[in-house]
Amino acid sequence: MDRSGNPALKRSALGRVAALEKTSAATVSGTVTKIIILLALVLVGAFTGWRIAASMTGGGAMILLGSMVGALVFALITIFSPKASPFTAPAYALLEGILLGAISHVFNTAYNGIALQAILLTLTVFLSTLVLYTSGMVRVTEKMRAIVFIATAAIAMYYLIAMVVGLFGGSVPLIYSSGPWGIAFSVIVVLIAAMNLLLDFDFIERTANSKMPKVFEWYGAFSLMVTLVWLYLEILRLLSKIRN
Please write the tens of the pLDDT for every residue from 142-188: 999 999 999 999 999 999 998 888 888 777 888 888 889 999 999 99
The percentage of residues in the chain with a pLDDT greater than 90, rounded to a whole number, is 64
* pTM of the predicted model as reported, rounded to 2 decimal places: 0.86
Given pLDDT bands bounded at 50, 70 and 90, which one contains residue 31?
Answer: very high
Q: Cα separation of 107 and 237, whole Å?
A: 9
Q: What angle do CA 149, 154, 156 make, to 5 degrees?
A: 95
Q: Kindly tell me if the per-residue pLDDT of 73 is higher than 90.
A: yes
Taking the domains of the chain in order of start, what are their residue ranges? 7-243
Distance between CA 158 and CA 137 in Å, rounded?
Answer: 31
Taking each helix axis as running N to C, give the angle between helix 58-80 and helix 28-54, from 0 to 180 degrees, rounded to the nearest 10. Answer: 160
DSSP 24-74: TB--HHHHHHHHHHHHHHHHHHHHHHHHHHHT--HHHHHHHHHHHHHHHHH
| Predicted confidence (pLDDT) per residue in 111-150, tens digit | 999 999 999 999 999 999 999 999 989 889 999 999 999 9
